[in-house]
Amino acid sequence: MNFAIFNKENEKSEKLKEQIKERLLLSRLNIDEENPDVVIVIGGDGTFLKAVHHYMNKLDKVSFIGLRSGSLGFYYDFVMDDIDAFILSLKENAFTTSKHHLLECDINGNIIYALNEVRFENPFHTFACEVFINEEKLEKYQGSGLLVCNELGSTAYNKSLGGAVISNDLPLLQLTEIATIQNNVYHSLGSSLVLPNDTVLSFKGDFNKTVIGYDHLTIDSNHAQTIRVYASKKTITLLKPLNSSYIKTLTRSFVK
C-alpha cells in the first residue's frame, strides 16, 4: 500500500509530517506522493479540502484519512497524541470506509466538483434567480445568495447559515438561503430544504458579478444564465478508525 502525506504549511504540521513519514518508512510502508492508495492529511478542514482537490483526478483510486494538527477539524478522528494508534491502524489496515458523492456543478458546460458545498453570492447588489427542483419551479429568490451542500458539507458554512446538520450516512442534498429578502413583494421558502440525492437543482437568472464558490475555491460565472447542481457520480472514500462515532465527532466539534 502506497501513502502520500498532504499537510498544512505551518511548522507544527511540517514536523508532524516528518514524524509520520519516518514512522511509515520504519514500518516498511511505502511513500508515493504521485500515485498513493491512501492520502494522509495533516492540518484542519481547509487542508482536507485542498488535499481532495489536489487528488481530484485520482479519487477513484485513493482514500483519505486525517490527522488533526490544530484545534478544529470535522474530517479528523486522530489528533497529534494518537500517532502510535494511527501508525498501527495504517500497518494493520484497521479502518472502516465510507463513500460519499461529491457535488457536481455545471456552469455553461464547465464542470466543477465540491466536497462540501457550492454557493452563489453577490457582494455588489441583490442576487436574484429562479430556483427549479428537477425542472419544476420552486421560487424566485432575492437575497445575498444560495448554497447547496451534501451530507458532508452540512456541518460547514451551511450550519453557520442555520441549515440542518445531516448525518454522514444519509446521502442528501440541502439548499440553504443566505440573507434572504422577505417582504410583501419578495417571498421565498425562507428555510433550508433537504432533498433526495438524485435531485437536480437549477438556478436561472443573471449571474453577472456573482461569486461562485466551491469549497475553498471560486470561479467566474462566465455570463451564465443557468447553473445546475447535483450529486456527482464521482465519489470520495474516507477512512475512519474502527471505533469511530459520528456523535463523538459532533460533540467534539460543536459542543465541547
82 burial type by CB count under 10 A (0-12 exposed, 13-18 middle, 19+ buried):
middle
How far is C-alpha 165 from the geometric centre of its chain's CA atoms? 14
256 burial type by CB count under 10 A (0-12 exposed, 13-18 middle, 19+ buried):
exposed
**Which residue among 45, 60, 84, 106 is the active-site one?**
45
Calpha distance 160→154 (Å, rounded): 9
Three-class secondary structure of residue 20 per DSSP: helix
- Which residues lie below 8 Å from residue 146, measured CB to CB, with a gap of 6+? 119, 120, 127, 129, 131, 175, 176, 177, 178, 203
Give me the phi and psi of 218, to 5 degrees please: -135, 160
Local structure of residue 9 (DSSP, 8 states): S
Query: Residue 249 is inside which H or E element, if any?
Result: helix 246-250
198 annotated active-site: no
What amino acid is encoded at 93 in this protein?
N
Calpha distance 207→193 (Å, rounded): 22
Q: Show the CA angle centred on residue 49, arms to residues 145 and 242, nearest 5°.
A: 120
Cell of 174: 440541502
Catalytic residues: 45
